[in-house]
Structure 1
Amino acid sequence: MPFWDGRAANAADIRLYVPGAGWRAAVSMEGDTDDAPVPGSANAVGSVLLNILNATNLVVLTGTGSSFGVSNPQGRPTPAGMWDVWVAVRAAAGDAVFDAIVASFGAERVSENIEKLLTLCKLYLELHDGETSEPVLSMQAFVETAEQAILARVDFIDRESGLDAHDALIRKIGRRGVRKPRAKLFTTNYDLCFEEVARRSRFTLIDGFSHNLDQTYDRTHFDLDIVRREGHRENPDYVANVLQFYKLHGSIDWRRVEGDILRTRAQVGKPVLIYPRSSKYQESFDAPYLDMLSAFQAALREPDTALLISGFGFNDDHISSPIMSAIESNMSLRLAICDLAFIPDEQLVLGAHDLAGKAELPNRFLTRFRRLADSGDARVHLMNGRFQDLAAAMPDLIGETDRERHVQRMRAIQQGAAGPA
């Protein structure tokens, strides 16, 4: 059984990479009878995260891995990984149609990877652009079916979803002092995890959309902030619990209607999101994705900036390359990565105090970050753990506010009033 299956969120499951020693456990290890205990990495992890949160400019990046921290009631869809999307597309297209499309490219070439399959479909349609033959029309129909299936499969959030990890993260990064620039939260996910948890906790997300009846996207809205204006005060009072929020690949509730991008769950216009295929890089240079990506690149070049990454696999070059470029050019940039990619399960099961980890990491970016850490670059910190473990490990800069306690009391009263008499 894999090490992580059924494991609750626990800061003690995070291992910190210590150059020359390996991946160190959080808890201390008892020494021999005459030796002092071998210290764990929990204090060092806490220090790293505290330093990240106290940076002048805080940037957080999450990906698909963060969604696996969600729990849904039985019978509701679970968070979707790439294999889940593959299964959903097969079910929507039908086995015969799906197998025929895969066979047309070669099963070994596709290797049960939905991103490779959609990439090949896209290339085929570009090569046969303008043709109306039966194979071309069939391919177009399959791509449309696949995109609709993906959109439906990643729509798994509702009012009953368990979002404890997202709630912890958004509270801890949103409670920074209002004198500092707003924390910037970037995600490649299409789902509504952060939007739902912000609604529950009464946090405000500045996400580029207006506050009109038809919420409309405009890049200038990212330059706005929320303040409290009172007649007897000359200076504005910046409201707490506000974040800037960027969805780099779009969202399931964004629709393009007559040239505008609206936030709506109505089935109008066309969805605004980047589907999993190799053309993600080119598509990211269209609006609104270019606005989001430009904001990400600009944020990484600000002085005294900290970048915290969890649940992002560094498989998107249009996002990973700017991070590496910023590490090379911005000497004040601090980087902390928490991911499951560093240590195989079979090592974790052994439970040794220091583990060697994987000799070869999944991609070149993680390899380069580890080399930087090995070379003594004190700006780079690597941790092995899940998104929910990281959220549990992050320190609270400020305790629960009066407003947050008031919201919780009011919600408890309302839920009690709505229950059985």
Structure 2
Amino acid sequence: MAALRTIIAQGRKRIGLLVGAGASAGMAKADGSYPLIPAVAGLTDKVLGILEPTYKAQIDGLKAELAQHDIETILSRIRSLSKVIGTAKVHDLDGPGFATFGEAICAEIGKIVDVRLPMPGSAYANLVNWITGTSRDYPIEVFTTNYDLLFEEAFESVRAPYFDGFTGGREPFFDPVSVSRCDLPARWTRLWKLHGSLGWRASDKGEVIRTGQSSASHLVFPEHLKYDQTQKAPYAALLDRLRAFLLTPDTLLISIGFSFADAHIAARLDEALAANPAASVFAFQYKNLDEEHSACDLARRLPNFSLYARDQAKVNGMRGPWKAPPDLPSKDWGPIRSTYLDIDGNFTLGGIEPFARFFAASKSIQAFSTPPTMLPPVAVPPAA
């Protein structure tokens, strides 16, 4: 962690962030309550709960045939059915009926995730302060599966330039050439929305455009868009960018709030890390190690995938608990240690607020410990 603190304080390393739904779920609202935005499980329960009076038969039918019941998998299935069944009926709905169902889901998702950053000093604001706080040889690349506009708000609040793959004025269009070449100046942060975003919709030509509004109509898993290649293009290009980033020598991808349960993302990570030993992933997880099944599987097979969980870590394939040495190696070690371990010896950087504070304070001579008020409540099982 001390070495990482040095690396992120400098501007010479090629660094990327992978931000999942757990990040927004780990942020507090303005009144101090959690979460700012529910994680995928909470989002699924909220959306389906709202739509159940109208679509109960369809929801029950889809859950019965799908192995996963999260909102993205259900929405992908709905979109697929709307494209192929036409006037035939599945679960008492025809193709147009499923299209309407999908639009209703997107509308409810949009209402839930359309939130503003709590001010002042939000976690995303701290991350942007870290990104813009030094001159960089390479741009920071942020890969996120989240639909919200929190990163956009954080960048724009300090007038920090970023590129999300779209260009234009009236109806900004997606430019895959600029995404693949990534040749904008290093001061432009790259913001890649892997699962779509609020404000994305399909134009009359079938192409995905960015509207600048907070409505949500284009939120899907990319591989389920194989029925329409023009709609697949943004997602395929963004996932290819993630793979290309990890295939570049001497890169570091740091994840926060991501479970690695998304098979299409985990597969690209697996392939790229196996092909490029010079790339590394640091996965900062909120739960205990034994609960992080998908991340543990990657850490077991890939020595350049390091997993840091609440109670233990798995580094270079070796597992061990967090433990305080009897003698600190230097006088600065105690304050630095307090920025990533709490008084009980639990790793705190799996939460977005301590994580962002650690990054923002990396250039400071003084090490700032994480206040207990920044940690969301967590249920820890009793000792055996």
Q: Quick one: distance in 1 between partners of 2:109 and 2:214?
A: 15
Cα deviation for residue 396 of structure 1 reads 4.6
Deviation at 1:186? 0.9
> Hey, what's the Cα distance between the residues in 2 that align with 1:62 and 1:212?
28
C-alpha change, 1:391 and 1:90, in structure 2 (3 Å) is same
Alignment partner, residue 313 of structure 2: none
The alpha carbon displacement at 1:68 in A equals 1.9
Which position in structure 2 is the counterpart of 1:392? 357
Matched, 1:194 2:120: no
Asked if the contact 1:110–1:117 (Cα under 8 Å) also holds between the matched residues in 2, the reply is: no
Aligned to 2:2: 46
Q: Secondary structure at the match of 1:70?
A: coil
Aligned 8 A contact 2:146 2:197 in 1: yes
Q: CA deviation at 1:338?
A: 0.4
CA distance in 2 between partners of 1:65 and 1:283 (Å):
30
Following TM superposition, by how much is the alpha carbon of 1:172 offset from its aligned partner in structure 2, in angstroms? 1.7
When residues 287 and 65 of structure 1 are mapped into structure 2, their CA distance, relative to the original with a 3 A threshold, is: same
Structure number, greater radius of gyration = 1
- Are residue 80 (structure 1) and residue 38 (structure 2) matched? yes
Q: What is the CA deviation profile of residues 15-69 of structure 1, one whole-angstrom value per residue up to 9, with x for unaligned ones?
A: xxxxxxxxxxxxxxxxxxxxxxxxxxxxxx2323433665632111111011124
The secondary structure found in structure 2 opposite 1:312 is coil
The equivalent residue for 1:362 is: 293
Deviation, 1:317, is: 1.5
Match of 1:154 among 113, 119, 124: 113
Tell me if structure 1 keeps the 8 A contact 2:72–2:220: no
Q: Deviations over 1:310-345 (max 9, x none)?
A: 11111211111111122212121122110123x1xx
**Alignment partners' CA distance in 1, 2:17 and 2:163:** 15
Mapped contact 2:155–2:162 kept (Cα < 8 A): yes
Q: State whether residues 338 and 382 of structure 1, in contact with CA within 8 Å, keep that contact through their aligned partners in structure 2.
A: yes
- Equivalent in the alignment of 2:306: 380
Change in CA separation of 1:210 and 1:224 when aligned onto 2, cut-off 3 Å: farther
**Structure 1 length normalisation: TM-score?**
0.63
Residue 249 (structure 1) aligned with residue 195 (structure 2): yes
Runs of 4+ in 1 over 6 A off after TM superposition: 106-112, 280-285
Q: Which amino acid in the other structure matches residue 110 of structure 2?
A: L
1:332-374 CA-to-partner distances (Å, cap 9, x unmatched) read 1122110123x1xxxxxxxxxxxxx42x6432x42230465xx
1:135 corresponds, among 93, 116, 125, to: 93
Q: Distance in 2 between matches of 1:258 and 1:123?
A: 19
Question: Is structure 2 residue 19 aligned with structure 1 residue 93?
Answer: no
Corresponding letter in the other structure for 1:394 = F
CA distance in 2, matches of 1:148, 1:197: 24
Counterpart position of 1:185: 142
Higher relative contact order, structure no. (Cα contacts within 8 Å, ≥ 6 residues apart): 1
The answer on whether the counterparts of 1:274 and 1:283 sit within 8 Å (CA) in structure 2 is no
For 1:417, the equivalent position in structure 2 comes to none
Contact 2:106–2:217 (CA under 8 A) maintained in structure 1: no
Alignment map for 1:256-335 (pairs within 5 Å): 256-259=202-205, 260-266=207-213, 271-274=217-220, 279=224, 286-335=232-281
Partners of 2:83 and 2:211 in 1: CA distance: 31
- The answer for the alignment partner of 1:164 in structure 2 is 122
Q: Secondary structure of 2:115's match?
A: coil
1:337 and 1:168 mapped to 2: Cα distance? 19
The whole-number CA distance in structure 1 between the counterparts of 2:106 and 2:354 is 32
In 1, distance between residues paired with 2:41 and 2:142? 26
Identify if the C-alpha distance between structure 1 residues 69 and 325 changes in structure 2 by more than 3 Å, giving closer, same or farther.
same
Deviation digits for residues 173-193 of structure 1 (CA, Å, limit 9, x no counterpart): 343433x11111111111101
Query: What count of residue pairs does the alignment treat as equivalent?
Result: 318
Task: Please tell me the root mean square deviation across aligned C-alpha atoms, in Å.
Answer: 3.7
Letter of the 2:192 partner, please give it.
Y
Matched to 1:145, the amino acid is A
1:387 shift after superposition: 2.1
Tell whether the 8 Å contact from 1:254 to 1:262 is kept in structure 2 after alignment: yes
CA deviation after TM superposition for structure 1 residue 206, in Å: 1.8
3-state SS of paired residue (1:322): helix
Give CA deviations for 1:136-186 in whole Å, capped at 9, x if unaligned: 26544333322322232221226x5566211122222343433x1111111
3-state SS, counterpart of residue 253 of structure 2? strand
**Aligned pair in 2 of structure 1 residues 315, 53: CA closer, same or farther (>3 Å)?**
farther
Q: Do the aligned partners of residues 185 and 103 (structure 1) sit closer, same or farther apart at CA in structure 2, a change above 3 Å counting?
A: closer
User: Could you tell me how far apart the structure 1 residues matched to 2:99 and 2:168 are?
Assistant: 37
| Closer, same or farther: CA 135–207 of 1 in aligned 2, 3 Å | closer
Instruction: Structure 1 unaligned segments of length 5 or more: list them.
Output: 1-44, 227-237, 344-356, 400-421
